[in-house]
Amino acid sequence: MNIEGKKAIWKDYQKEIADDKFYYVRSCVRQNFFPGSETAFLKIMREELKKDVYEHPCHTTCTGIGYHSDIVPVETTMTVVARQFALMTEAGYENLLPSCITSFGLYTEILDTWHHFPAVEEKVREQLKKATGREFEKPKNLAHASDVIYKFRKDIAAKAKYKLINKNTGEPLKVVDHIGCHYAKMFPSKGVGGAEYPYVLAGMVEEWGGKVVDYPERRHCCGFGFRQYLVQANRGFSVACSKEKFESMKPFKPDMIITNCPGCPMFLDRWQYVINEMEGKRYGQNGQGIPVFTYEEVAGLVLGYDPWDLGLQMHQTDCEPVLEKMGIEYDPDKKFNTDPITKKVNTQQLVNV
């Protein structure tokens, strides 16, 4: 493998990522299944990097799940997205920062549609006005939260307490980077590194001391889809997709998987349990599974946050093997701690409520 060849391609796909003053929109799946991730992200942005990240309390789902499942018609989705933009304009922000990859893909798609078909944009403006009385401006910059962490990865590395290195052998951890389909496959120019060899997560891994693993099914979808799992009988497709990936990456003996989409870690994590129940197969070393992380969790671990504050106890496939390898100190007894939280989380200034 000649890494120089990949670097040449990564140079071709660079995108504009805003520097500060972000308007954050949360993810349906990530908030619910990986709540520690979004909290960690905000903590890193506000406390470590001292950036202004604003969340409007009235913002809603982008309806990406509904749109991709054929439940919500596209005009409705566009109007809901327009409302999100309106709230952003009202709060005085221009840089949109979605937490979810599907949201990112949806916003990119809608902005592209409005660019090519201005008549549709006009219609949506009318509809929004009629429904809510709001008006909006389109965001000047649209970057996914992983793009921003990628942009500031060196700052995070500078503050890192731990590196992605196996403390017993001194070798970098072997990390599989899995990118959400909606990040770059639809619009390769909107993804850092393009669609073929995306660099957004690889850059983070390399900066933080790890080694990226390239395996044949790297480009394969994890199987999240939407229809594939919403209907129970279809879930076999989803599992088969994840299984294809696991079978392909197993010979490379990865230590962990890092993802940027909220759905991917959920599936790559949960389906390992299902595959084990159904077929008795496990893909990690020593008969364990391969721990799956979101990039916020990895950033948090690298900065030395407590794993249980990051929400790692919510993972189905145990994360302890990686914690041990990295040499992170944690208290196994506090894993399922039910004591009330005494620490106060840093809140934001509410604007225009």
Partner 1 sequence: MAEYNMEKFGYTISKGRQIDYESNDRRIADYIFEREPSFRLCIECGGCSATCTTGNLTKFSLRELHILIKRGENDQVMKNLRKCMLCGKCILVCPRGVNTRNIVVLAKQAFQKSGEYAI
Partner 2 sequence: MEAAGQLSKCGFEVSLVEKEKTTGGHLNDWYKLFPDRRSSTEVKEYLDGITLNNGINVLTNTTIEKFNKNRNHFLITTSGGKEMTADAVIVATGFELFKSSRKEEYGYGIYDNVITSSDLEEMFRNDRILMNNGDVPKTIGIVHCVGSRDEKVGNLYCSKLCCVTAVKQAIEIREHLPQTKVFCFYMDMRMGGAHYEELYREAQEEWGVNFIRGKVSEAGETINNRLVIKVEDTLAGRPLKMELDLLVLMAGMEMSDGGKKIALSAGLNTGDNRFFAATDHHYGSNRSNIDGIFYAGTCTAPMNITETISHARAAVSEVMDYLKDGRI
Contacts to partner 2 by CB under 8 A: 1-2, 4-6, 8-9, 194, 196-197, 214-219, 251-252
- C-beta of 274: minimal distance to partner 1 in Å? 7
- C-beta of 236: minimal distance to partner 1 in Å? 4
Q: How far apart are the first and last CA of the chain?
A: 54
- C-beta of 243: minimal distance to partner 2 in Å? 15
Residue 277 interacts with partner 1 (CB under 8 A): yes or no: yes
DSSP string, 274-301: HHHHHH----SGGG----EEEHHHHHHH
For residue 149, give both structure tokens: 């962490």
Partner whose footprint covers residue 48, from partner 1, partner 2, none (CB < 5 to 8 Å by kind):
none
Query: Is the CB of 251 or the CB of 332 nearer to partner 2?
Result: 251
Q: How far apart are CA 261 and CA 244, in angstroms?
A: 19
Helix/strand/coil percentages in the chain, nearest 5: 50, 10, 40
Partner whose footprint covers residue 120, from partner 1, partner 2, none (CB < 5 to 8 Å by kind):
none
* Residue partners of 206: CB distance under 8 A and separation at least 6: 212
Partner whose footprint covers residue 6, from partner 1, partner 2, none (CB < 5 to 8 Å by kind):
partner 2
DSSP string, 155-210: HHHHT-SS-SB-TTT-PBPEEEEE--HHHHSS-GGGSTTTTTS--HHHHHHHHTT-
Query: Is the CB of 59 or the CB of 219 nearer to partner 2?
Result: 219
- C-beta of 2: minimal distance to partner 2 in Å? 5
Q: How far apart are CA 278 and CA 321, in angstroms?
A: 23
For residue 25, give both structure tokens: 């929109």
Residue 239 interacts with partner 1 (CB under 8 A): yes or no: yes
- C-beta of 13: minimal distance to partner 2 in Å? 10
Partner whose footprint covers residue 338, from partner 2, partner 1, none (CB < 5 to 8 Å by kind):
none
Q: How far apart are CA 200 and CA 193, in angstroms?
A: 7
Q: How far apart are CA 1 and CA 342, in angstroms?
A: 50
Site string for partner 1, 157-176 (x = CB under 8 A): --------------------
Query: Is the CB of 2 or the CB of 168 nearer to partner 2?
Result: 2
Strand order in the sheet with 292-294: 211-212, 174-178, 256-259, 292-294
Residue 217 interacts with partner 1 (CB under 8 A): yes or no: no
Size of the site for partner 1 (CB under 8 A): 15
Residue 251 interacts with partner 1 (CB under 8 A): yes or no: no
Residues that bind partner 1 (CB under 8 A): 232-237, 239-240, 243-244, 274-275, 277-279
